[in-house]
Amino acid sequence: MTLLRGWFAIPLWKRVLAALALGLLLGAFWPQAAPYVQFLGDLFVRAIRMLVVPIVLVTIAAGITTLGDPKRIGGIGGRTVALFAFTTAIAVSVGMAVASLIRPGEGAPLGTATAHAIGDPPTPYEQLIGIIPVNIFDALARGDMLAIIFVAILLGIGTLLAGEAGKPFADLLQAATAVLLKIVGLVMEATPFGVFALIANAVAANGAAVFVNVGWLALAVVLGSAIQILLVHSLILRFLARVPVRHFFRGIIDALAVAFSTASSSATLPVAMRVAEKNLGIGRPIYSTVLPLGASIGKDGTAMYVGLLSLFSLQALGVPMTPVVYGLVLLTGALAAFGTAPVPSASLFMLAAVLSSVGVPPEQTALVVGFVLPFDRLLDMTRTVPSASANLTVATTVARWEGELDDTILKAPNDD
C-alpha cells in the first residue's frame, strides 16, 4: 500500500514522461520485447476511444444548456471557428516556409517506393452533406464527429428552447457530463502504462530508419511543430487571451503527452477537457463546446504537415514552384486540414486533394504516400501535439473573451 500511495503521489505528467522515456529505451535497445507489452497500449487507446463519442455528444449538449441565452451560442461558435481558421491558415504557411527553407524533398528516392492506394478524397459537397446524418445511431456507431457535433448542438438548443419542460433533461446532461469526466480521471491513471507500450512499439517498428531515411522530413516536422506551438500559440495566448504562457503549457502537459502517444486529436479530447477545467480554469460552457469542435476542425499539426508534405512532394517530383502553386497549396491545404478525420495518419491521405489542385496525378501522389507511410507513425505523433495545443489555446482565448476563465486556477501551482 505504501508503494501504491507513493505512485499516486507523483504528479501524473511526471509519471507519463518517465514512461515515455522507458518506452523509448525498450523500443531502441530491446525491440523484441515490445510486442509483449503492446496489449497495454491497445487497451489504453480503446479505453480513451470508448469515451470520445459519449463525451462529444453529452458535453456539447450540456455546454449549450449552460449558456442560458441562445444568442451566446452563435457568438461563441463564430469566434471559435474564426480563430481555428486563422491558426490553420498560419500552420499551413509555417509548414510551407519550413519546407522551403530545409527542402527535404530534393533527391528523395520516390522511385524505390511502392505505390500505396489512397482512394478518392471526399469532395467538399460530400463533406458538407455528411454533417447531417440520415441515421443518428449510425453516426454514433461510426464515430462521425461532424455529424455527432451537429446532433449535439441541436440537442442542446432544443433543450434550451423547451424552457421549463427541458430543465430535467438539462440536469440529466449535466449529471452525465460529471460522471463521464470522473471516468476520464480513472482512465487517465492508466496513461503511463499506455504511453510506455505505444512508444516502445512505435520505436521498435521503425527503429532509427525514420531519422535516417526521412531525417530531413522528420526535422522539418519537429521544427514546424515547435514554431506553431512556441511562436504562434504563445503570441495568441499572450496578446489575445492575456494569460501567462508558462502557466498555460505547464497545465496542458498531460494532454500533450497523450496527443503524442496516441497520435489522435480525438483520443486526446477527454484528457484535454480534464486539464481545461482542472488546470486552466476554463468554464464548462466553453470547454464543453469549443474542445469537441476543435477535435474535428482544430488541426494545426495536420495543416502544418499538409503544407510541408505538399512542398516535399513537389520538390521530390521536380514540379516548378510559382506564386500560383504556393497559393493553391495554401488554400487547399487549409481546407483539407479542416476536413481531416481526427485519427492517426489521416492527414497523409488528404495529400491527394492538395496535389491534385496543382496538377499532380494520383499515381505520383500514391508514390509519395508509399514512401512516407512506413515512417509516418512517429511523424504523426509529433504533429498531433500542435493540434492539441491549438485546441486548448483557442478554448482559453474564447474563455477569456466570454469571461469564463478563472485566473486563480490557471496560475495556481499544478501538481495534479
DSSP secondary structure string for all residues of 136-181: HHHHHHHT-HHHHHHHHHHHHHHHHHTGGGGHHHHHHHHHHHHHHH
**What gap in Å lies between CA 296 and CA 107, rounded to an integer?**
35
Place of cell 493553391: 328
Per-residue model confidence as pLDDT tens digits over 241-269: 999 999 999 999 989 988 888 777 777 88
Task: Say if residues 244 and 180 touch (Cβ distance below 8 Å).
Answer: no
pTM value surpassing 0.75: no
pLDDT of res. 209: 47
Task: Say if residues 195 and 22 touch (Cβ distance below 8 Å).
Answer: no
How is residue 144 written as a grid cell? 462521425
What's the number of CA atoms in the CB half-sphere (13 Å) around residue 222?
9
**What gap in Å lies between CA 120 and CA 125, rounded to an integer?**
14
For the chain, state the CA radius of gyration. Answer: 21
pLDDT category at 370 given cuts 50, 70, 90 is low
Per-residue model confidence as pLDDT tens digits over 374-407: 567 778 888 889 999 999 999 999 999 989 999 9
How is residue 243 written as a grid cell? 494569460
pLDDT of res. 42: 82
pLDDT of res. 249: 94
**What gap in Å lies between CA 329 and CA 321, rounded to an integer?**
11
pLDDT of res. 311: 92
**What gap in Å lies between CA 333 and CA 351, rounded to an integer?**
8
**What gap in Å lies between CA 280 and CA 410, rounded to an integer?**
4
pLDDT of res. 61: 82
pLDDT of res. 168: 92
pLDDT of res. 374: 56
pLDDT of res. 211: 45
pLDDT value at 297 more than 70: yes
**What gap in Å lies between CA 190 and CA 173, rounded to an integer?**
26
pLDDT above 90: percentage of residues in the chain: 21
pLDDT of res. 127: 65
**What gap in Å lies between CA 141 and CA 183, rounded to an integer?**
20
Other Cβ atoms closer than 10 A to 5: 8
pLDDT of res. 68: 60
Question: Domains, the chain, ranges and CATH?
Answer: 11-26+34-50+85-121+188-410 (1.10.3860.10)
Selected residue with higher pLDDT from 355 and 242: 242
Task: Say if residues 21 and 195 touch (Cβ distance below 8 Å).
Answer: no
**Most confidently modeled of 58-67, 186-195, 348-357?**
186-195
The sign of the torsion formed by the CA atoms of 361, 364, 368, 374 equals positive
pLDDT above 70: percentage of residues in the chain: 83
What's the number of CA atoms in the CB half-sphere (13 Å) around residue 49?
18
pLDDT of res. 391: 94
Distance of CA 268 to the CA centre of its chain: 7
**What gap in Å lies between CA 41 and CA 261, rounded to an integer?**
9
Distance of CA 373 to the CA centre of its chain: 19
Per-residue model confidence as pLDDT tens digits over 318-353: 888 888 888 888 887 887 676 555 555 556 556 766
pLDDT value at 90 more than 90: yes
Amino acid identity at 252:
I
Per-residue model confidence as pLDDT tens digits over 107-117: 766 655 454 45
- For the chain, the average pLDDT equals 81
| Vertex 380: Cα angle to 98 and 87 (nearest 5) | 55
The three-state secondary structure class of 306 is helix
**What gap in Å lies between CA 218 and CA 305, rounded to an integer?**
11
